[in-house]
Structure 1
Amino acid sequence: MTPEWIGICGFAVLLVLIFLRVPVGIAMLGVGLGGTAILNSPDVALRLMTGQTFAISTLYSLSVLPLFILMGNVASQSGLSRDLYDAAYALVGHLKGGLASATIVGCAGFAALSGSSIASAVTMGQVAYPEMQRRAYGDRLSTGAIAAGGTLGILLPPSTGFVLYAIMTEQSIGRLFMAGILPGILLTTLFVLTVTLIVRFNPDSGGIAPKDLIDTEKTSLLKATPVLGIIVITIGGIYLGLFTPVEAAGIGASLAILMALLRRRLNLAEFIHAIKSTLETTGLCFLILIGAMVFSPFVALSQLPSALSEIVLGYSDSPYTVLTMILVLYLFLGMIIEGLSLMVITLPIVFPVITNLGFDPIWFGVIMVLVLEMGLISPPVGVNCFVVSSVAPNVPLSDIFKGIMPFWAAMICCILLLVAIPEIALFLPNAMF
């Protein structure tokens, strides 16, 4: 059997293991270990596994993951996320459909604290959905806004997706964080515009207009100022070169804990819960990375990346045609495989093709993360939709999937704009470095 066929068989085994609910990190670790043993030797495979496990576990730049995750968990446990939602409501609540728009803006703010799409959807959903029910919002609009807003967690820095992409492709975490800011703001704006259009064509879905907004506007914005200050300090400090992403994560986590303690919003039990959640999420991320780093050499030994490059480049000479094929493939696979898992599985094959085509790897990182976001709200897997279903158990899952369709179209528009104008993603990282 040729190395290429061994590689194809390895991918087939990997997909079967994932569909059998084997954790993706363990599945990649097993397939990578077995495949390397076949293509090289068992001794090399074992040395690779132990070496990569130690290398990933001791990589200083990965300290950014647990620190930013802790910052988000503390913000969630201490109710700081409610301050963000109230501030967003004060800014856009006067609009028709303002609660849905406030949910999206609040998700964007919380994303800049947590870097997690699921955490953003759960946290903002618990705060926003009861309010939208009370204001008689349509179920499709309210659940669609929560699910779509949650996807901003993987695009706006600090993004777990960017960290994984940076480690696997040897790119700068700081540049990727900066590259996600303007596309994140653009996507947030498109989501708010989508809410406005939905309510314009279906006024009943926008619920009852609020009457108590003016009295609470100044108070809400004032309460959210310290939380917004944390975001500005961490992200602004990276941009200005005052500290590295790891230092920014440490400062952000410390400020979040300090603020929660000063406001007396964080007791010992809640802090312990935040620590436990941080350890669980960090352990999962490290397991995925270790599995990916063992799986990647197997893919290289199988010669699949070079074979795929020859096939794809032989099919078309146009880089954008090839890019379109890759993105459509990601959209399809994103409907059946969780986004971060899909990233670590496919990057060893796709990334060499992208670099051979001459595309900027930082720009492609933003495009890839955005496409993976779409998978978070795409049926039948749509993880964020299932998360929202747990927050709104009375809404049928079919209505949730229908509710996200307009936001899905907005994400397509965002991708097209980024492809047409790459500087949207590259302006800040190029200005920073």
Structure 2
Amino acid sequence: MSLLPIFILLGAIALGIPVAIAIGMAGMIFFVMSGAMPAEIFIQRIVAVTHSFPLLAVPLFVMTGVVMNHAGITRRMMDLAEAMTGHWRGGLAQVNVLLSTLMGGVAGSANADAAMQARVLVPEMSARGYDKAFSSAVTACSAIISVIIPPGIGLILYGFMGDVSIGRLFLAGIVPGIVLCMAMMSLVMVLSRRGGMKPSLERPASWQERWSSLKTAGLALLVPIGIVVGIRFGFFTPTEAGAMAVAFAVIIGLILRELKWRHVRPILEQTSQATAVVLLVICMANAFGFYMTWERIPAAVADWMLKLTADPVFLLLLINLMLVLVGMFLEGSAALILLTPILIPVVSALGIDPVHFGIVMVLNLTIAGVTPPLGTLMFTTCAITGVPIGRFIRAALPFYGVLFAMLLLVTFVPQLSLWLPNLKF
């Protein structure tokens, strides 16, 4: 078994080489030096993955979020969140958490959600006297919710790489996402009372004001509901659901008269840029995955772990610890793409439901995105808000406690994830 490509991959990442390039370099070394097959197969493996129909869901759901931003739906969702929670103590922080939950079914990306709220909400929170480090911590940590609320891009990638039903994964993320939202809002309430933070609204919004906000944002909230119902009853596949979501977002923008012809170019540019980053990693990882399969590395790792323990509880603890450590140094999507084919055989051998494990894995790797030293959500948020990393970490400590407690809850209470997918309609 040749481990040289793995050492090259780890060394390249340590040197700061972009993840996609590092994976591609490591995979190419195997094809060039193995002598067991023509080097041209490296290119074939890169291109072959682009023919996958399920991967069309990635650019489609990315485009849905971009269209929503340009159509003014994001702003209307923020107004709805403020109408519902703005009168609570620490109101804008509560709005921040609730907006992440609402945007989960639209943007599907934690980084996109964090970047948007860091630009829009954090300056407003600072203007109203909130500590900027606290505001940044709320923004980055609450963005984690958006990855497990359907249609999260991480769930699509896991389903594709692990050959797991994406429809069941979408259903499995709903309850954990809502529970995580409630836990985060409860923590914000406690911290707000301790810090003497004021509500963003002097009085609760009237039911008429809430209804008005719901009417303008309510159409967008039907997107995740329509996706889940459509997939569950076989009206369309997860990939087709992406196309339906884009079409629905465009229709909403036209109804609200905020989507213009001049928005077409920036929508296509932003969608292409975001999609290219993800798909380049997937293409390179497919070639690297061929190397791992050829050398039987996933099977060897599975055998090693199963010899180490046959206890599913201890195995899940071990895998969670490993994922947290990996996620601290490797971007979540890349880690998901690389590790899913390795870990699926391990958990399946011990009877752990791959749908439940998918929620655990996606949540775990996204939580690692707000932890030092290389958390991408942490760096994205701090780069926009200008908060030093040290101040961010100190402000985020209470949130780390809640997030890891929720990770353990989701890990060891599988029915939290599996209840809805297993429900007989």
TM-score by length of 1: 0.91
Residue 133 of structure 1 pairs with residue 126 of structure 2: yes
Task: Provide, for residues 91-140 of structure 1, a one-character-per-residue CA deviation record: whole Å limited to 9, x for no partner.
Answer: 12221112111111101111210111111111122222132123212333
Spell out the pairing of 1:229-268 with structure 2 (5 A cutoff). 229-268=222-261
CA pair 48-140 structure 1, distance change in 2 beyond 3 A: closer
CA pair 323-83 structure 1, distance change in 2 beyond 3 A: same
- Partner of 1:410 in structure 2? 402
- Partner of 2:198 in structure 1? 207
Q: Find 1:190's aligned residue among 183, 188, 192.
A: 183
TM-fit CA distance, 1:352: 2.1
CA pair 336-53 structure 1, distance change in 2 beyond 3 A: closer
Q: Distance in 1 between matches of 2:391 and 2:232?
A: 41
Q: Distance in 2 between matches of 1:71 and 1:373?
A: 21
- Partner of 1:371 in structure 2? 364
Q: Find 1:398's aligned residue among 383, 387, 390.
A: 390
Say if 2:105 and 2:223, in contact at 8 Å, map to a contact too.
no
Spell out the pairing of 1:302-381 with structure 2 (5 A cutoff). 302-381=295-374
TM-fit CA distance, 1:241: 3.0
- Partner of 1:74 in structure 2? 67
Spell out the pairing of 1:268-279 with structure 2 (5 A cutoff). 268-279=261-272
Secondary structure of the residue aligned to 2:201 is coil
Q: Distance in 1 between matches of 2:300 and 2:225?
A: 45
Q: Find 1:181's aligned residue among 147, 155, 174.
A: 174
Dislocated runs of 4+, deviation >6 Å = none
- Aligned residues: CA RMSD: 2.1
CA pair 31-209 structure 1, distance change in 2 beyond 3 A: closer
Q: Find 1:34's aligned residue among 29, 32, 48.
A: 29
- Partner of 2:40 in structure 1? 46
Say if 1:32 and 1:294, in contact at 8 Å, map to a contact too.
yes
TM-fit CA distance, 1:346: 2.4
Q: Distance in 1 between matches of 2:49 and 2:297?
A: 24
- Partner of 1:100 in structure 2? 93
Say if 1:39 and 1:301, in contact at 8 Å, map to a contact too.
no
Q: Find 1:290's aligned residue among 262, 268, 283.
A: 283
TM-fit CA distance, 1:236: 2.9
TM-fit CA distance, 1:153: 2.5
Choose 175-184 or 298-307, whichever is displaced more: 298-307
* Structure 2 unaligned regions, length at least 5: none
Say if 2:87 and 2:199, in contact at 8 Å, map to a contact too.
no
Q: What letter matches 2:394 in structure 1?
A: K
Choose 118-127 or 371-380, whichever is displaced more: 118-127
Q: Distance in 2 between matches of 1:248 and 1:399?
A: 41
- Partner of 2:15 in structure 1? 20
Say if 1:316 and 1:322, in contact at 8 Å, map to a contact too.
yes
TM-fit CA distance, 1:324: 0.9
Q: Distance in 1 between matches of 2:363 and 2:287?
A: 26
- Partner of 1:110 in structure 2? 103
- Partner of 1:146 in structure 2? 139
TM-fit CA distance, 1:89: 1.3
Q: What letter matches 2:407 in structure 1?
A: I
- Partner of 2:76 in structure 1? 83
TM-fit CA distance, 1:195: 0.6
Q: Find 2:423's aligned residue among 417, 420, 431.
A: 431
Choose 334-343 or 124-133, whichever is displaced more: 124-133
Q: Distance in 2 between matches of 1:345 and 1:15?
A: 12
Q: What letter matches 1:101 in structure 2?
A: Q
TM-fit CA distance, 1:196: 1.4
Q: Distance in 2 between matches of 1:359 and 1:37?
A: 38
CA pair 40-182 structure 1, distance change in 2 beyond 3 A: farther
Q: What letter matches 2:91 in structure 1?
A: G
Q: What letter matches 1:210 in structure 2?
A: L
TM-fit CA distance, 1:86: 1.1
**Identical counterparts, % of pairs:** 29
Say if 1:77 and 1:271, in contact at 8 Å, map to a contact too.
no
Q: Distance in 1 between matches of 2:306 and 2:28?
A: 30
Say if 2:87 and 2:203, in contact at 8 Å, map to a contact too.
no
Q: Distance in 1 between matches of 2:59 and 2:424?
A: 25
TM-fit CA distance, 1:174: 1.2
Number of aligned positions between the proteins:
423
Task: Provide, for residues 137-164 of structure 1, a one-character-per-residue CA deviation record: whole Å limited to 9, x for no partner.
Answer: 2333321111112122222111111111
Say if 1:10 and 1:35, in contact at 8 Å, map to a contact too.
yes
CA pair 36-431 structure 1, distance change in 2 beyond 3 A: farther
TM-fit CA distance, 1:362: 1.0
TM-fit CA distance, 1:222: 2.5
Q: Distance in 1 between matches of 2:191 and 2:282?
A: 40
CA pair 56-391 structure 1, distance change in 2 beyond 3 A: same
Q: Distance in 2 between matches of 1:252 and 1:348?
A: 29
* Structure 1 unaligned regions, length at least 5: none
Secondary structure of the residue aligned to 1:42 is coil
TM-fit CA distance, 1:256: 0.8
CA pair 310-231 structure 1, distance change in 2 beyond 3 A: closer
